[in-house]
Every structure is written in C-alpha cells, then in structure tokens.
Structure 1
C-alpha cells in the first residue's frame, strides 16, 4: 500500500513559485513548448484532462508542460487565497518566468482557457499561439450559473464528501455520452477532490474579457461542443467577432470535453494548426 493519496496520477516535476505556491507538472517531449491548462471542477488535474492528447503532441515534436493548477492535482491547495483569475495568471506567469520558457503555445479548456486569455492579455510577450476548448472568461458569472452542468456540480459539491457515485453525477454532463466515464477517471478525480479546500470554488471569480479580445493578436484555434452544458456555445461568436486571428470548430455530439470525446479529431486538427500554420 502506498501513502500517496494521488498514486493514480503520474508524478513529474515541481516548481516552488516566488509567491510561495508549489505547482506540479509533467514535462514530456522536446520541441516548441505547449502548456496544457485544465479546467475546473472537483478533482480536476492536468493528467485527467489531457492523458489522451499530450503523448500524441510529444510524438509530433512538441515539449508538453502538463500543469496542475493551484488547488488541483498534485499542486498546492492553500485555504487562505482567492482563486480568482489574477491569482491563476500570477502563478502561470511566475511558472513561465522561473522555468525560463518563451514563445509558449497555451492550450486551455474551460477555466484553463480563461487563464490562457488572461496570460495573453497581461503578458503577450510570453505567448506564441492559443488553442482553446470551450474557454471561460467571455460571460458574466450569472450566465455560467444558469447552465445545467454548473448547477448540478454546485449542488452535489455542497452535499459533502465526494465519492464515485457523486463524481459520476457531477461529470455525466461533461460528456455527450456519459458511457465515456471510466472508473479510472472517477478514481483519479475523487482522490483529488477529497483534498480540495472550500475556498477553491467559493472564491473562483473570472471576469468577462470579451471587450479585450481585440487586443489578442496571436493565432488562435478554438473548439466548442454543441452539447456543452457548462459553457454556452454562443460564446464562440464573441471570439470570432472580436479576435482578428482566430478560427473555431463547432463539434456536434460533444459536451464540454472535446479533447476527450473526440480526441483523435482534436489531436489531428491541433497538430495541423501548429505544424502547417495558415492565416486565421
């Protein structure tokens, strides 16, 4: 028996940030750097969100930094901070600076997409390209809390200690086909969820950045599932109407996790975007 509560998650490297937060990440492959930024929700981690994707990118000649955001995975989960966008961007930028990374491709899902946008707006010199999957940060908080998936997640989370049955109920709306929820995914996320502090979700605030999207000049490829129950698909048009160098792909029979439900298509389109760039 191991004493590691996260024994189901691979262990990689740690960076002690200058603000006192210790973050965990996997570092796979060599080449241009892709930083993978996962979404929110009970039990999330970089590995859980992207295990079916980053090995393909590594084989195609990219260095993959699969980050566990503060409050998630194997990273620190302090109970005395505000988990707002400024905090996440501060941590990401410190991570980039302390690890001497440059010209990063930021790839973010949901909350991770909002953080990618925040980093690009605050520190544009660090970002070469963006890949976004149903990114947050283009709606008001009230809009998100009207979504069926968010309402269910909050209700079940407030019931107390997470177990597999509760996690299945939380996550069943993440996917168009809930049969894709394997025991491995549930086990990974339950173990992490049990270590997450209440202030993680109580203080999670992400502003609406729609009016600043025009400031982002890098090429961006985005995805949105037509059956997304967590983030309104109409948000796609805010990017198309305001970002000069972006294109979005709408995927049918797809929930909030295009990289999971349509991983082969997602991987292929992303690598085509990165390896054969054309004007967006």
Structure 2
C-alpha cells in the first residue's frame, strides 16, 4: 500500500510517500532541479518491499514548501527529518541519501546518532575538497539552472544527460518530468547555496556507513570520497564503473543488491560483531 501525504510539523510542512511495512528506511533525495523523493527513488522501492519505506521531499523541493531560515540548508533539513521521524512514530531508522540527501543523512547521524541504524550515502555532498571551486561541470550546471529566472527545458535536458553515463537513460519523459517539477518548486536560493560544511564532524558518525559512487560522476567526483571515507570511523566504499551521479537510477539492479545486503548486516557484520 502506498500513502502520499503531508506532515504538519508545527510551523513547517514536509511531503512524503510511505510504502510497505517493517523496519523503517528513510530515503533522502538530491538537490538537483526538479528533484523529489519519488523521482529519485520510486524505481527502487519494489526491491525493498519488506521495509517501511519513507520517501521524503526535503524542504524546498517537491511538495515541501521552501523554508524561511538563515541556517545552512543541510543543517535545517536534518532537523526537519528528525521531526518527521517523530511525527511518524519512528524512533530509529536506516537512512539512504543521494547527494544533498546524503549530506542531510550524515548530519542526522552526527547530531542524533540514536536515531540512525545504518547509513547509505550515494556521492554525498557537504564535504568539499580544499580546492573547490572551481566546480565540477555537473554542479556548475545545477547552480546555473537554479540561478536562471526562467529555466528552459533544454537546460534541463543538458543537466539530466550529465547525471548518467549512458545518455539513452536521459529519456524525453524523464526530462519532461524533471522540468515540470522544477517549475512547480524552483528553489529561490543564493548561488552557490549555503549548504553547510560537515567536514569537522565526520568523526561523529557512529553508524555503519556504506558509500556508493559512480566512477564517472561529474557532479560529486569520486576523488571527493577520500575525505569522507577517512573521516567516518566505520565507512566502506563501493564504486560502480560506467556510472555517473544517479547511481540508484543508472545501475538500479546493482544498487538495490548492494544496499539490501548492507541493510541486512552483510557488509558491516564483522565491524559490529
């Protein structure tokens, strides 16, 4: 059974979709134009049918209103995720986050470790190398789209093509869906946005952590993984070749298998035992 609704969080609202029953898994999407929880993860949920899947629209994306806050976006969104968990009666969950959503998941694990079982991060943001900017081409296109007063469908098509190694996956229907979504919820943010820096607190992440990266990622490059891998005490890295930023979409079968194994305890059993 699938439920799509809006959480009222006392002064803020957060859209979400819930699918399945069982141990909770919270899915956190990226910050790209037109992103929503279901656009990022809708195609993966069937492989996680034994879980209670909570797919959120983070503040300012999808059905969730843009927040009025001076906080860094990652920090604000992480607190909203925790409030959403409380509203849904969830004390503790696995977190799966892509890009910006991965950064939000890390922030939750840093500040509220008691709420996180296992952490899956696909090319997460929030941790930059010392020489950034200049930005990778994917981030450059993302920021350019956000800054455009009237973004075009062609600009969306160029952005989507950069997200996948196999450009045949950048279908017309996918471009249309993301473009329409971006017009409904086009974040009004400074460029680049004030996402916040998670680097100083990486050592606070106590949860077993799986990093998943596309080798050819042009948005959050694989070279940026080193600092996160070194900073989180119980982290491991899986790299998928011939794959860019949307690992869960471009390599869905492998992604689903790797993540299921990890959530079931396979990848970190030795470290925990």
TM over 0.5: yes
Match of residue 228 from structure 1: 217
Deviation at 1:141, TM superposition (A): 9.0
1:186-201 to structure 2, matched below 5 A, reads: 186-200=175-189
Q: Deviations over 1:195-250 (max 9, x none)?
A: 33553454732333233222211111111111111112122222322222111101
Deviation at 1:255, TM superposition (A): 0.5
CA contact (8 A) 2:146 2:187 kept: no
- Measured in 1, the distance between the counterparts of 2:20 and 2:40 equals 18
Following TM superposition, where does structure 1 have runs of at least 4 consecutive aligned residues deviating by more than 6 angstroms? none
1:108-257 to structure 2, matched below 5 A, reads: 108-139=97-128, 143=132, 146-200=135-189, 202=191, 204-257=193-246
Matched, 1:15 2:7: yes
Where does the alignment leave 5 or more consecutive residues of structure 1 unmatched? 1-9
- Measured in 2, the distance between the counterparts of 1:133 and 1:198 equals 22
Among residues 23, 41, 46, which one is paired with 2:32 in the alignment?
A: 41
Match of residue 29 from structure 1: 20
Where does the alignment leave 5 or more consecutive residues of structure 2 unmatched? none
Match of residue 87 from structure 1: 76
| Alignment CA distance shift 1:101-1:204 (3 Å) | farther
CA contact (8 A) 1:71 1:200 kept: no
- For the aligned residue pairs, the C-alpha RMSD in angstroms reads 2.1
CA contact (8 A) 1:223 1:249 kept: yes
- Aligned residue pairs total 267
Deviation at 1:157, TM superposition (A): 3.9
